[in-house]
Structure 1
Amino acid sequence: MSVISIAQALLGTSIPVLCYHQVRPDSGMTPEKFGRHLDLIKKLGFQTISLANLHRIIQGQTPQSGPSVVITFDDCTLDNWVYAVPQLLRRNMHGVFFAITDFIQPGPTRLQADQKTAPLPVPAFGDIMQQALSGNCDGFMNEAEIRAVVHDLGMEVYSHSATHQACFTRAKQTGTLGENRHWSHAALCGQDADADSAVHPVGSAYAHAGFGLDGNGRPLTLKTDQERLAFCVTDFSAAKAKLEDLLDQPCPFLCLPWGEYDDITLAAAKKAGYEGVLNLEAGHVGPGIDPMRIGRLAVKDRKTLPWLGLKTLLLAHRTLAPWAQRRNVGRRT
């Protein structure tokens, strides 16, 4: 029995769920750094498990077999295919990817980092989103790559919404459009907006009765609870249907953009047919928790190996897990 297994027997078992985004050269999370993260997770004695298996454990349908961790990636940007997947495969580790389905386009699989020819450069997420909102979705994994991740490599791809729709959350002005502070500003203000147009705090349109324009330039209608519920159900349902058609298998899980949610968000997810929802509220994950509130730890680019080790170990023990993140970052009341 490992040291962690003994500690879990004393302090209770919990399963860390880690959230990554981009893994690419010339960034804070290079492939080499990500590889060191994976090596540390293995060295600490964890095995990676699937989200489907985690859901069965939460539901009490299957027991946990040893210290486990779930590694997830938001957005399904191209770098996940080019750089992250090879790092996982090299260590026989499992990854879970969440796709923004409106940005999934047809196309052949592109070169990965472990192939002889140099892979395509991958922009930062903000640039990828700005390109996608203008019709160029090359910065995201395409249909063939998503199929390959699931059907050839045995990993998982689930929903991260259809549009990852942003909104302005408060009327307080934080700057102007010309300052270009966030990828969503141009779309929310409108393609023809002046550079001195006001911009405001940005968040998830699935969790806020916010304002601005959608990706098609139409005003967001989110003022009432009924309007936002209908918006969420339509978006979440479309994402689920797209992935089920693409992969020819159920899509029971939704990862919330920005990790933000409230009761309306979760009601919409349930109405759309999801069985599990993931946010960014790190804490205890194990048998008996609400599967519609699965918390994850955001592993940001600047975080160090000691930080990752400490947080993962805290999250692996039911008694200690609440100390991994003392404040709620995603839930709205």
Structure 2
Amino acid sequence: MNTVPILMYHNVERAPKGVGLRGLYVTPGRFRRQMQLLKWLGYRGISQAEAVPYLRGEASGKVVVITFDDGYRDNLEHALPVLCDCGFRATCHVVSDAIGAYNRWDAEQLGARKAVMSAAELRQWVAAGMEVGAHSRSHARLPELDEDALYAEVQGSRAALEDLLGRAVTSFCYPYGAAGERERALVRELGFASAVSVRRARARPGDDLWNLPRVAVGGHHGPQVFPLQILTAHEDRHQ
């Protein structure tokens, strides 16, 4: 069965000295080489929304889904030009209450304030043909919330983004990948077409659209790991 790898990135930037979780950073040069490799291999880079027909088995082709978590400005500065050069599209999952601010949820833990795109920058991202997905309002751990707070985080993030961008937001990403049956059911009931987790594997047609696995692309990996993640069962064995 064909796989539909869903790549997970965070920062496309050189990791600052002493920062925590350096694996969240991929340098701009490495990101460019990864995208160029995918294009050379014959893959078409698509957004999460565009992937749904492939994951339902309604379409086929050599595609890879490109996602970025949190909405960092370096995605616009360093990733967008590469994506455009390759003719790829991608999805940036945005923490709506952090627009124009920074990563309040883990700045202290990581020892770094990372700038999140402003409203104007998000519009620039969309104008270039990219997708914006919802990633909650505050990057809360959704299973820890009561029903009202959970609804506010999920639906509130979508409402804010749709109001800002003037278009439907149909893709969701669980903060920290944390989601049980209750959280997945709400995302589905609210009408999101798909949702991604941090569960490691290449997605396949027929997978649960509201619990999709991803391939975490880390700056701490050697350059030989990326093609293994895409082309082999390297990630699938972690299911």
Larger Rg: 1
Cα distance in 2 between the residues matched to 1:78 and 1:311: 26
Rate the CA distance shift 1:128–1:268 in 2: closer, same or farther, 3 A: closer
Query: Which one has a larger percent strand, Structure 1 or Structure 2?
Result: 2
Aligned to 1:40: 37
Cα distance in 2 between the residues matched to 1:128 and 1:89: 30
Rate the CA distance shift 1:128–1:292 in 2: closer, same or farther, 3 A: closer
Per-residue deviation, residues 73-126 of structure 1 (Å, max 9, x unmatched): 0011111111111122222222211000001149xxxxxxxxxxxxxxxxxx86
TM-superposed CA distance for 1:312, in Å, is: 0.3
Matches within 5 A, 1:81-160: 81-105=76-100, 130=107, 139-150=115-126, 152-160=127-135
Contact 1:19 1:296 in 2 (8 A): yes
What is the DSSP-based 3-state SS (H/G/I as helix, E as strand, rest coil) of the residue aligned with 1:269?
Answer: helix
Cα distance in 2 between the residues matched to 1:128 and 1:139: 12
Aligned to 2:219: 301
Contact 1:280 1:296 in 2 (8 A): yes
What is the DSSP-based 3-state SS (H/G/I as helix, E as strand, rest coil) of the residue aligned with 1:139?
Answer: coil
Q: Which runs of 5+ in 2 are unaligned?
A: 17-24
Percent pairwise identity: 29
Q: Given residue 327 of structure 1, which amino acid in structure 2 is its aligned partner? A: H
Contact 1:233 1:272 in 2 (8 A): no
Q: Given residue 225 of structure 2, which amino acid in structure 1 is its aligned partner? A: W
TM-superposed CA distance for 1:232, in Å, is: 1.5
Rate the CA distance shift 1:126–1:160 in 2: closer, same or farther, 3 A: closer
Query: Which one has a larger percent helix, Structure 1 or Structure 2?
Result: 2
Aligned to 1:59: 56
Cα distance in 2 between the residues matched to 1:56 and 1:299: 24
Aligned to 1:197: none
Per-residue deviation, residues 242-287 of structure 1 (Å, max 9, x unmatched): 1111121111111111112111211222243322110112334233
Cα distance in 2 between the residues matched to 1:247 and 1:154: 13
Q: What TM-score do you get using the length of structure 1 for normalisation?
A: 0.63
Q: What TM-score do you get using the length of structure 2 for normalisation?
A: 0.85
The CA RMSD over aligned residues, in Å, is 2.4
What is the number of equivalent residue pairs in this alignment?
227
Q: Is residue 237 from structure 1 mapped to residue 155 from structure 2 by the alignment? A: yes
Aligned to 1:80: 75
Contact 2:49 2:194 in 1 (8 A): no
Rate the CA distance shift 1:284–1:327 in 2: closer, same or farther, 3 A: closer
TM-superposed CA distance for 1:327, in Å, is: 3.3
Aligned to 2:142: 206
